[in-house]
Amino acid sequence: KILVYNPTIGHSQSNFMGRIADILTEAGHDVTTLVSMIDPDVSDGTKLSKIIRVPPCAETKLHHERKKIVKPDLFSMNDNNPIGAYFMGKFFGKYYSNQCKALLEEPGLVERLTAEKFDVFFAEHHDMCGVGLAHVFKPKSFISVSASVIFGLNVKDFGFPALLSSSPAMFVSKMEGRSIWERLAHIYEGFLLWISSNANRNLVHDVFKDKFGADFPEFDKISSESAFVFINSEPFIDYDLPSMNKVISIGGIGVKEAKQLSEDWVNILTKRDNTVLLSFGSVAKSAYLLMEIKLSIIETVKALPHVTFIWKYEEDDEFTKNIASKVNNLVITKWMPQSDLLGHHRLSAFITHGGMGSTQETALRGV
C-alpha cells in the first residue's frame, strides 16, 4: 500500500506527484493520493489512484482571495532584499500552515491513515506538511520528492552540501564566470533563500508542535531518514551537484505523450510561418505583471507581424479587452494544451518562466 501526499500548489508540482501515483497504480500497486487543496484552481494531477481530498479551509480561501486581489508581481520583486525574502516566505508559509492545520484537524483522517500502516509514503519538499506527516503516519518507508531541482534547504534535508561554486543559488540570474564577486553573489542569494525557506518552514513546523508537542522533530531530521530521494531533474541539462546513491533523477516522468491538437489550435499554428508560445506557469501569472511589462510585450509582438504569439493570460481584464485583443498576431488564452503544442512541428519557440515542468517538456519535445 502506497500513500502519496499531493498539495495543489502549482500545476507542475501536482502533475509530477500525480504522475508518480498513476505510474505506481499502473504497475499494480494499491495507491492512495492525499490531496490538500491549497489552490482550488490547480488539479490534483492523478487519474488512476484512489483520492482523499482535504478541502481548503476558511483561512486558505481567504489567503487565496487576497493573493488574487494583491496580484504579486513575482517578476519585479527585489530578490536582493532580505526583508522581501522573509515576507515572501511568510506569505507562502501562511498558505501551507493554514491548510496543514486543517488537514490535521480533519475528523478521523490522521487516525485512519495512520491505521492503514502504509508500506511507502511519498512527500514533496516544497510544502513541508508532507514531511511532518511522514513522521505522524509512520510508514514502513518514506520517499522524499523534489518536483524541481534540489535547492536551498533541500541540500540539508537530503544530506549533502551546496556547492555554490558549481551550482548557482536559486535566484542568481547567470553563472558565466567564476569571479570572486559572482561567487559572493551566490553565497548572498543562498542566504536570502535560507531566510525565505525558514520563514515558510517554521510556520508549518509550529502547526505540528501545537498538535503533537514541542518535541516534534525538525523537518531536516525527518527528511534525513527517507529511503530514497526522487528529483525532477535531467542530468544532461542540470548543473553539477553533489549526490548520493539514494538520490534518483526521474526528470520528465510527468511529461505525457503529445496528443493530436484540435482543429482550432492547428489553424492558429498554421496561420503564419512562425509561432511563439508565451507562458509563465501557474504561480508567476502573466496577469500579475506590471502594466509597463505587459505593454512592452505588446510592442514586441507588434514588431514581429510575421509571427503568431500565443500568450497564456489568466484574466478577462481591461488590458485584454482594450489592448491585447486588438493585436492581429496575438492569441490570448486562459488555458492551452502546452505539452501538445510543444510537440507540434509548427511551433518555433517557447518563452517560459523556467519552471521544471516547462523546462522538461521543452527539452523532451526538442523545442
Q: Is the pLDDT of residue 184 over 90?
A: no
Task: Give the confidence band of 357 by pLDDT, cuts at 50, 70, 90.
Answer: confident
Give how far Cα 251 sits from Cα of 39, 164, 214, 248, 360, Å.
Answer: 24, 22, 37, 9, 7
Domains in the chain, CATH or no CATH each: 2-249 (3.40.50.2000), 263-365 (3.40.50.2000)
What is the mean predicted confidence (pLDDT) over 265-277?
95
Mean pLDDT of the chain: 85
Per-residue pLDDT at 130: 95
Query: Distance between CA 255 and CA 309 in Å, rounded?
Result: 23
Task: Give the confidence band of 338 by pLDDT, cuts at 50, 70, 90.
Answer: confident
Per-residue pLDDT at 175: 53
Q: Which carries the bigger pLDDT value, residue 340 or residue 288?
A: 340
Per-residue pLDDT at 210: 95
Weakest mean pLDDT among 87-96, 205-214, 271-280: 87-96
% pLDDT > 90, the chain: 46
pTM: 0.80
Per-residue pLDDT at 230: 92
Q: Is the pLDDT of residue 174 over 60?
A: no
Task: Give the confidence band of 241 by pLDDT, cuts at 50, 70, 90.
Answer: confident
- pLDDT tens column, 54-69: 999 888 888 777 766 5
Q: Which carries the bigger pLDDT value, residue 10 or residue 283?
A: 10
Give how far Cα 201 sits from Cα of 65, 220, 221, Å.
Answer: 22, 10, 13
What is the mean predicted confidence (pLDDT) over 153-167?
67
